[in-house]
Amino acid sequence: MIYRSKAPLRIGLAGGGTDVSPYSDLYGGAILNATISLYANATIEPIPEKKIIVNAIDRNEEEIFDWSKELPINGHLDLLKGIYNRIQKDYGIGEQGFRLSTFVDAPAGSGLGTSSTLVVAIIGAFTEMLRLPLGEYDMAHYAYDIERNDLKLAGGKQDQYAATFGGVNFMEFYGEDKVIVNPLRIKQQYLFELENNLLLYYTSTNRESADIIKKQSRNVVDKKGAPIEAMHQLKEQAKQMKEALLKGKLNEVGEILDFGFQQKRKMAEGISNPLMEEIYETAKKGGATGGKISGAGGGGFMIFYCPVNTKYAVIKGLEKFGGRYRRYKFTDHGLTTWTI
């Protein structure tokens, strides 16, 4: 048997950063995101030897261990090993050797939720192999718990839920553990138009999101007024985006994104930088009415709302920066698992 899974990456459209503790614990957060046709993939293949092989194919990294109940967390392929350790502890895996292989369709640190989506995909493959009775909320919370508590990785809560549920969702965060996922029933023609007008641009630079997220969290702990007020405004932005999409007011999407871009820069140092500012202004000169830095900021993907047919002029204008745009489709499904 071979056990496979895939989970979709996501575009954050509004409210980014309000899902990060301690802001979401103290004030409650709101996010609007949509999953796209780029995936994190995981495969578990039993092997006759009593070995455990973990292999990140896209990164050309592999480690081989004699079978053990716990693998070392040493800064190399820790996501793969940490999930194995937790599954082994909670559910038990027989002394069967196996190869765990992963592949992600976007680079790590690019702002599309790659790490958390990969965690969901790996848990999905183990769930398929062991027939674990985990529902969508269970799966997402389990992934969050492994990342934040077992592996001590800084980050928010939205990515695990986006990867598990899929589709376009308005997510609400209350206290430390309460998350409510509200799937949005957006008319198909509105989604087609949003997909047509929303340009996904990779800046060809990556960043360490944990550093930016730690600064953001520290600003909340230190009760810094401007960053906290910016997060309040981003929470309102998520509500504005929800209304615009549900009512088909797509001409407002660019302005709502632009409002969020101005606010997000105030949350923490390093979210934006001179290169990203120049890219943003160039896109607006080409006809984009707004955009945002995807994920925590500092690099990776940016998105731009380009009404009518302005995206072609925007793509042309951005050529000088050496990045590239990525084609995608919105997806209505989340984590998918199967057995061969």
Tens of pLDDT, residues 50-95? 999 999 999 999 999 999 999 999 999 999 999 999 999 999 998 8
- CA nearest 20: which of 29, 11, 12? 29
Give the residue-averaged pLDDT of 293-322: 89
Asked if residue 333 belongs to a domain, the reply is no
pLDDT at 242 over 80: yes
Q: Assess whether pLDDT exceeds 60 at residue 124.
A: yes
* Parallel/antiparallel/unpaired status of strands 198-202 and 324-325: antiparallel
- Please give the average per-residue pLDDT across 201-209, as a whole number: 72
Residues 178 and 208 in one domain: no
- Does residue 339 lie in a domain region? no
The residue from 135, 165, 185 where one domain ends is 185
Task: Indicate whether 201 and 155 sit together in one domain.
Answer: no
> Are 17 and 143 within one domain?
yes
The pLDDT assigned to 268 comes to 63
pLDDT above 60 for 210: no
> Does 149 have pLDDT greater than 90?
yes
pLDDT of residue 227: 82
Asked if pLDDT for residue 271 goes beyond 70, the answer is: no
Domain boundary among 185, 217, 238: 185
- What is the CATH classification number for the domain harbouring 284? 3.30.70.890
Are both 261 and 153 inside the same structural domain?
A: no
For residue 56, is it within any domain?
yes
Q: Which of residues 41 and 293 earns the better pLDDT score?
A: 41
Q: Could you tell me if residue 338 is inside a domain?
A: no
Going by pLDDT thresholds of 50, 70 and 90, the confidence category of residue 39 is very high
pLDDT of res. 176: 75
Is the pLDDT score of 107 beyond 70?
A: yes
Expressed in angstroms, the distance from the first to the final Cα of the chain is: 6
What amino acid positions are annotated as catalytic residues? 159
What pLDDT score does 263 carry?
A: 87
Q: Is 253 helix (H, G, I), strand (E, B) or coil?
A: helix
Nearest to 29 by CA among 149, 246, 155, 178: 178
The answer to the question of residue 330 being in a domain is: no
Alpha-carbon span 224 to 62, nearest angstrom: 43
Host domain of residue 221: 188-325
Q: What is the mean pLDDT of residues 323-335?
A: 95
Who has greater pLDDT, 49 or 223? 49
Least reliable range by pLDDT among 134-143, 153-162, 165-174, 294-303 = 294-303
Average the pLDDT over 166-191 and give the result: 95
- Identify whether residues 142 and 125 lie together within a single domain: yes
What was the pLDDT predicted at 244? 98
- The residue with greater pLDDT, 136 or 275, is 136
Residue 222 banded pLDDT, cuts 50, 70, 90: low
Residues 122 and 213 in one domain: no
Are residue 235 and residue 285 in the same domain, yes or no? Answer: yes
Q: Could you tell me where the beta strands, DSSP code E, fall in 67-210? A: 98-104, 168-174, 178-183, 198-202
State what percent of residues in the chain have pLDDT above 70: 93
User: Does position 296 have pLDDT exceeding 60, yes or no?
Assistant: no
Residue 98 has pLDDT above 60, yes or no: yes
Give pLDDT, residue 300: 85
Shared domain check, 77 and 196? no
137 is a domain residue? yes
What average pLDDT does the segment 281-296 reach? Answer: 91
Secondary structure element (H or E) that encloses residue 262, with its range: helix 253-264
Asked which of 126, 159, 185 is the last residue of a domain, the reply is 185
Q: What percent of the chain has pLDDT over 90?
A: 77
Q: Are residues 69 and 211 in the same domain?
A: no
Query: Which pLDDT belongs to residue 267?
Result: 72
Does residue 44 lie in a domain region? yes
In 3D space, the residue among 107, 131, 109, 104 whose CA is nearest the CA of residue 120 turns out to be 104
Residues 254 and 161 in one domain: no
Question: Does 202 share its domain with 287?
Answer: yes
Tell whether the model's pLDDT for residue 177 goes beyond 90.
no
CA 107 – CA 306 distance, rounded (Å): 25
- Is 227 in the same domain as 284? yes
Report the domain count for the chain. 2
DSSP class of residue 75?
A: S
pLDDT for the residue numbered 298: 62
Residue 178 belongs to a domain = yes
Higher-confidence residue of 263 and 288: namely: 288
- The CATH number linked to 113 is 3.30.230.10
Q: Is 22 a residue whose pLDDT tops 80?
A: yes
